[in-house]
Structure formats: structure tokens, C-alpha cells
Amino acid sequence: MKVPPPGSGTHRAGPPHAGKLFTDRETESQAFKSTLTRFRRLLDSEDEAGTARHNVLTFYGLGGIGKTALSERLEAWVRHDLPLVNGWGPPPATKVDATARIDLHGSAGRMDLPAALLALRAGVARIRRRWPVFDLAFAAYWSAIRPGEPLPRFRGRDELENSVAETTGEVLKDLGSLADLAGGTATALGVRGVRKVVGELRRRRDLRLAVDAYAGFEDFLLRCADEPSPTEPRPALACELAAALSWELAQIAPSPLVTVFVDTTERLALDPRRVSEEHLNRMVHGMPNVLFVLTGRDLLDWYDETRIGLPHRGPWTWPGLVPGAPVNPRQHLVGNLSPSDTRALILRGREQLALPMSDDVVEHLVRSSAGLPQYLELARQVAISIKDAGTGRRVEAADVTGSLGALVMRILDDVPADEQRAIRAACLFRVFDTHLMAAAADVDHGCAERAVRRPMIDHHHGDRFPYRIHDAVREAIRRADHQIAGGWSERDWELAAGRAAAAVRRLHDDAKEREDNREVLDLVGVAIVLVCEQNTTLEPAPSENYADWLSRAIVFSPSVQGLRSRVPASSRTEYGRLVLNFIAAKSIETPVEERLSLLREIFDSDHPLRAPAGRHLGYTLRLRHRWDEALAVFDELVARKPTPLHLGQRPQVLSLARRFTDAHEAAQGLPVQSFITRVAEYAHGRPERYFAEVPDKMELLRGAGRQREYLEEVGTLLMRRAFFRGDVDDDEIADFGDQADLSGHLIATRSALLTTVLLRRSDPTDISLAIDRLRVLDEASLGEIGYRYAFAETCGALLAGDRDRLERLRDELSRLRSRSRSMIPVECLLESAGLPLPDQPTQWLEPAEDVVRRWADHFAAYAARHE
């Protein structure tokens, strides 16, 4: 198949689970086998991939029916890991060269795209060690979304890092740019080397790397380095990375057959916007030479041309997904096990586990279970518990028949009381560790360690939270009547959730103290899952502006947008629903008007986030230059809660809207008064008060641990020192640039770039590169150019005497909807050069011509330092 280039843990010990005792599914095994045969023919053809996609095989059916076990067994079958005596016989004749698994069980509606890319890369490592096109691009992307982190490992080894290091070493050697990277380990060259390669590409835009790649790869590599950030990972770009790997696979002859197993796809429907399903749709479509085997509860409806939100839909795109399609790969309904399969499964378990169960009990279980695999798994666990009790009692029919919920309760009957508490408490979480389990249950850690070895708890492949409970079991325990022995009332669940939330808060505060932003986000996400599952009592916040610690933690998290992938898509509680709406309202994936509507709903509620929602509603309107609407929101906020923070918002909006007289009057007697005076004087070309007062402000921010605001203020100070004084040394700006990069602070990064431009100590090519990158980052953050890019371009063009550049900038700025206070210095410099912008209503505190002259004088002093 010809594929076009893109853009044109270790298992715990213990009794075996249903997946290991799975039996038959002969119909499904034959469907998979015939799919492999047909897909091999598609790979071997010389035809273009075309419009239609024939790379999706789905198995769907009720929860607990055994779809996960089927998915795992199919993978084991083609990897030759399934014993010949265990059902299907020899592996299919069509060879599968590599497999990968994307498990959505813990996704709660969100797909972790970087993890999916890593799963794909780990899979194709079985074909060959190095994939230069993908590896370079992924390393650039990873360093942008996870600044300061090494490339991740898979299978416990640094395979990816070593591969990237080898590739970048060869590329840099070819470019003659390896000298300044000498020393250190080979793996240290990985991300550092990619950054060096990216730097060379920025400097030499016509450069073509000595890598066997498609036309335009160099531009794609730059996009991977420049467009994503820790707060906005650019999921569509991640899907293009998967497409790059697909293209690279297609360059091998004969083309290898790669199969990707995606399990529990119904999780994606938990998000009413189904954003992650859109990403999966884009990824699958972009990899036509990779076979995807999807398992979930629902029929996949990508064939429906009326589906909104999917980039690729319709029967012409997915003919095999149309219900009733005659040829594999297509959609298959997975039913219960047949009576013969059910009997074989029970007998195999009885033999392997030496269960004291008669043939008569086996037949009772065959009839009562109706072939539901999860039911059989629970019955097996009951039998194991009876055996482990050591009384010599045999399993009776009454022990292993009845409802799913009743069976769960029977399992817990033979579990010690403290472990029962731990297992019940764990049902509050989608994924968990023993620390959270013990805290929620109020038991010792040893008890939790014993409890996770019980058969109903699965080992989840996650470093931070490695355990989970199957949904069917979790729900049965969670909804059990409190009148049964050991059962919990609603109040018991609330108390457990409160203990869990308190434990999460302690972990969160510790991570905050260590400035471990990733762990802070993980733990805020765990707390949000709790409040979405259960009404929860939360501890108060250490601030009058917040009703509880979680609402404050959300607002002050390293990135509200960064929480999107860590939280569920829906909530059982009203508290949780509005939390999810607040997070959605801070995502650029959500349309602006919908963001405003979500924030308005929270603001009108009695939720602890109502005041922050009101503030962010005003901020969103202010960012869009909708000044009057923003003022109305902040006035409403003051009427509800007249705190100094809220009272200071009106003068700040007026100041940004260039209504300096109104802002001065509104700020009288408020703590914000000095700030309003300072920014007004600066806009008028008088920076003296700023330089006198900003050190105290920075010290206050630093002492309060407001790291994001502190970094932003440092960046502003550096760029102003560079323009007015020129006293920023190279180490100072280099250190700040590293801090901005490592924290993923885009505003600080833009300030570092502007400072570099203004200092003029780099060669002209590097300065031009910094200006270009400023533009990219401005547009990525704002949707249009901002004052940092405009100021850098203005100063550069004036120094170079390049009137064409100035005219182009003047024309572009003239097309903006409006211009805020921040753009005044740019306007004054352009006017002094004879290129005035259209008038922007402004309440000048002194004659406008004096302001223009003053900024022109500042530029003249700046230019004199760079003659």
C-alpha cells in the first residue's frame, strides 16, 4: 500500500483472571484471522490509500461480556504467547510483525495522546530499532509539552532516548554542529540534540536534513517544536506524528503488518463533546497501513455522515463500519459464551485452581451465568474464597449462583473486615494506589497492600496509580445496600471520600512545595474524580476568596487546561459537573461563546467556584476586548462579594481599554491604585515609577509562592531593562529562558524572546529567528499578533531602516479589532516614523503628541546604544 506523507508494569502474583482462563470465541478468532488475510493483501497492493479506510475491526457488546479478555487474547495469539492447548490452536498464517495496545480503561473520556504515541513507538521497535522521522519529531514534540523531562522509557529501557541520540548525532555531524554538544552520555544528546537540530532549521530555513523523509518534514519538525506547550499539547499535531510513523512504515518493503489493539472505546463517549474520539478518528484515518482492533460496548458510528465533530466520517470513508458490511474488517457483536464454552471455562478453572466444586454445581453455574464472563469470574472468586477459608467445605450451587451484586457480596464475606473496608474505599477511584486506598478506608498500609492482591483488583499499567477495579465489580460494591453485613451507608461513602480528599490535599501541597507541576496536576485530577463520584466534604482554603481547598487548587494549578486529560467527562454530582464545566471553559478547544456560557452558569450558581468563574468570565471578555461586557461582569461580582480582589478589577479593565482617567478615579482608595498609576505612567512613556516599585511586587509574589505570576513579572522586567537600560547580562537572560522553558510558561518564553531581540547580541539570523518565533507563539496563544512581536518587529525594522517591514506591520495592526494599552509604545514609534495607525479611543492624561515624542526619545536612546 502506498501511504502519502502526513500533511498532504509488571503483573502482580495471584490467581489467574478471566483473561487467562478465556475460552473459545471461535467466531471472533475467525473474524480476526480473515481480517489479517485481507489486510495483508491491501498492504501488498500498489494502490494509493485513497479515500476509503479498511483498517478497523471492531468487537462490541455489553459490559462484562469479555471484550477486554478477547482483545488481550487476540494479541497474545498473534504474538505466539498463547499455548496451543488453550483454544484457538496455532497463530494465524498471516504474520503480524508488531502489536501495540492503547488501553482507555482509565481514560474517563479523555485519550492520552502522548501515551498512545509511545505505545505505537514501543510496538514498532520490534520491527527495527530506529525510526528517524518519527523519533526526531516526537522528541521535539515531547520537549515542548514536557519541558525539562527526559524522553520516556519503554520496557524499562532507554531505547527511545538512545535511538534519538544516534539519529541526532548523525544529523548534527552532517551539519558540522556537533562540537558544542561534546561530552556527557549518549542519552543526554537525545533531547539536547533535537533542540540543536531545530535551532539549525530555524537559522537556515532552506536546510534539508540528511534523513530519509518526505518533502516538508523540516517544516513539520519546527511545528512540533514550536506549536505545542504544556498547557496546549496540540492533539491534532500528535495525530500527525502518528501519520508520520505510518508513512515511515510504508517505506519498508514488504510493508510490515502492525496491529494496534484499542480497548474500552466506550470510555470516549463519557465526554459529551467526544473530543478524544475525534483524536482517535484522526489517528486511525492517518494510519491506513496499520490495522486497528477496537473493543467496546457500542457500535462505532463513524460511518454516519451526520455525525458532527469527526474529521473523517461517512460510509465512503469507513465502508467496513456500516452495519451489515459483508467483508472483514467490519463490526462484530460479541455475545455471551455458549453453554459449551461456559462449561469448558468453568472446568478449566476448577482444574487449574483445584476448586472443591462438583459436576452438579458446574451445571448450575452454566445455566445461571448465561455465559456472562464477568459473572463467571466472580463465581470463581467466591469458590477460591471458600477453598482458602480452609474449613474443607465444598462449593455449593447457592454459593455461586444469583445476581452479580450478590456474588460480589459473597466474595467480600470471606475477606477480612479491614480488607473489605479497603476494597470498598477503592471503589471511589477509577485508578488508585495503596496510600489513597488506606487513607479513604482508614486502615493501615499493610492492610491495603494485602487487599490489592485480592482477585477483584487488577494491576493497571500506570506508575503513579497502578490499581483499578473492573467497572462491573466496582458498581456492584458501590451501589450495594448498607443493610448487608459490612455494607456502607451514603454517609459512610461521604466520610471515606472526605478522608481520601484530605489525603490528596496533603500530597498536593507537598508536590506544590516541591514545584512538581506534573504531580500537582495529577493530584488535582484525582480530587476532581472523587467529587464527581461522590458528595465530598472538602477542607477550607487558606484564603477568603475560595470556599474550599480544591476550588483554589484548580484555579492555581499549573494549568487549568492541563487538567482536561486527567478528569472524567461527566459527573454524578452537581459539584463535580460544574467543576468539569469550569475546566472546559478554560480550554481553547471549547468555542468562545460556549466558554462564556459555561462560566456564566457557574457564576450564577452557589458553587464554590462561582466567584472564580465570575472573574474568569470577565477575564475572557477582557481578552476579547469586550470592555463593557467585562465591566458589567466585574460590577456584578463586586455586588455579590466586594473583596479588594474584585474591587480592583474594574479599574484594571478601564486601564487596559485605555480609559486612563476613568481607571484613576475607579482605583481611588483601593490597593490596586498604585498599580493603575504605574501602568498609566508607563504607557505615557514614563517608566520611573515602574522601576522603583516592581522589586517589592516581585518579592511579594515570590513569597506567596505564586510562581506563574512571578515568572511573568521577571520577564516583563527583563525586557524593559533591555530596552531602557541595556543592562541585562547574557547569563541572566539564559537562566530566565531556561526557567520559562522548563515550566512551560508561554508568556515568560515570549518575554525571553523579546529580551533577546532587544539586546541585539546575537547574530542577525538568530534575531530574525527570535522575531519569527515570537509571532508563532503570539498567534498560538492569542489568535493574532500581540504587542511583544509588534514591539520586536518595530524596533528591528527601525534599526535596520527597513520601511517596507514597518509598512507591512502598520497594515497588519490596522486590521486588528482594537488595540489595548499594551500596544501604545508600538503606535507611538510607528507614528514617529510617519506611519500612524487608525485612531484608537484613548483618555490621554497629557497631550498625545507628548507621549509620542517621549517614546521616540526612548527609542533614540536605545538606538544610540546599538550603533
| pLDDT over threshold 50, residue 16 | no
Show Cβ contacts of residue 867 under 8 Å, excluding neighbours closer than 6 positions.
Answer: none
- Main-chain dihedrals φ then ψ at residue 98, nearest 5 degrees: -160, 150
Q: How many angstroms from the chain centroid is the CA of residue 618?
A: 26
User: Average of pLDDT values for 796-812?
Assistant: 94
User: Average of pLDDT values for 350-375?
Assistant: 85
| Residue 158, C-alpha cell as written in the block | 532507554
| pLDDT over threshold 70, residue 203 | yes
pLDDT at residue 545, as a whole number: 74
User: Average of pLDDT values for 597-611?
Assistant: 94
| pLDDT over threshold 60, residue 24 | no
Q: From residue 580, how far is each of 375, 476, 546, 598 by CA, in Å?
A: 34, 26, 17, 10
User: Average of pLDDT values for 9-38?
Assistant: 59
pLDDT at residue 711, as a whole number: 84
Query: Measured between alpha carbons, how far is 550 from 529 in angstroms, rounded to an integer?
Result: 12
pLDDT band per the 50, 70, 90 thresholds, residue 50: confident
Q: How many angstroms from the chain centroid is the CA of residue 506?
A: 24
Query: Measured between alpha carbons, how far is 442 from 191 in angstroms, rounded to an integer?
Result: 44
Query: Measured between alpha carbons, how far is 404 from 171 in angstroms, rounded to an integer?
Result: 60
User: Average of pLDDT values for 797-808?
Assistant: 94
User: Average of pLDDT values for 234-240?
Assistant: 91
pLDDT at residue 85, as a whole number: 52
pLDDT band per the 50, 70, 90 thresholds, residue 188: very low
pLDDT at residue 778, as a whole number: 76
More confident residue, 761 or 631: 631
User: Average of pLDDT values for 54-67?
Assistant: 78
User: Average of pLDDT values for 45-63?
Assistant: 85
User: Average of pLDDT values for 571-596?
Assistant: 86
Q: How many CB atoms lie within 10 A of CB 209?
A: 21
pLDDT band per the 50, 70, 90 thresholds, residue 19: very low
pLDDT at residue 46, as a whole number: 86
pLDDT at residue 14, as a whole number: 41
Q: From residue 465, how far is each of 23, 141, 436, 803 by CA, in Å?
A: 30, 25, 9, 59
pLDDT tens for residues 103-138?
Answer: 886 666 678 888 899 999 999 999 999 999 999 999
pLDDT band per the 50, 70, 90 thresholds, residue 65: low
Q: Which of 50-59, 397-406, 447-456 has the lowest mean pLDDT?
A: 397-406
% of the chain residues with pLDDT over 90: 44
pLDDT tens for residues 823-842?
Answer: 999 999 999 999 999 999 99
Query: Measured between alpha carbons, how far is 259 from 71 in angstroms, rounded to an integer?
Result: 11
| pLDDT over threshold 80, residue 186 | no
Question: Chain-wide mean pLDDT for the chain?
Answer: 84
pLDDT band per the 50, 70, 90 thresholds, residue 86: low
pLDDT tens for residues 623-639?
Answer: 888 999 999 999 999 99
Among 164-178, 514-528, 640-654, 694-708, the range of highest mean pLDDT: 640-654
Q: Residue 56 belongs to what H/E stretch?
A: strand 56-60
pLDDT tens for residues 144-179?
Answer: 887 666 777 766 577 788 888 888 888 877 777 655
pLDDT at residue 15, as a whole number: 40
Q: Is residue 386 within 8 Å of residue 393, measured between CB atoms?
A: yes
Q: Which of 27-31, 481-485, 834-838 has the lowest mean pLDDT?
A: 481-485
Query: Measured between alpha carbons, how far is 204 from 765 in angstroms, rounded to an integer?
Result: 8
pLDDT tens for residues 500-528?
Answer: 999 999 999 998 888 777 788 888 989 99
Q: Which of 83-87, 508-512, 724-728 has the lowest mean pLDDT?
A: 83-87
pLDDT at residue 9, as a whole number: 34
Can you name the residues that pair with 442 across neighbouring β-strands? none
pLDDT band per the 50, 70, 90 thresholds, residue 187: very low
pLDDT at residue 676, as a whole number: 95
Among 29-33, 560-564, 809-813, the range of highest mean pLDDT: 809-813
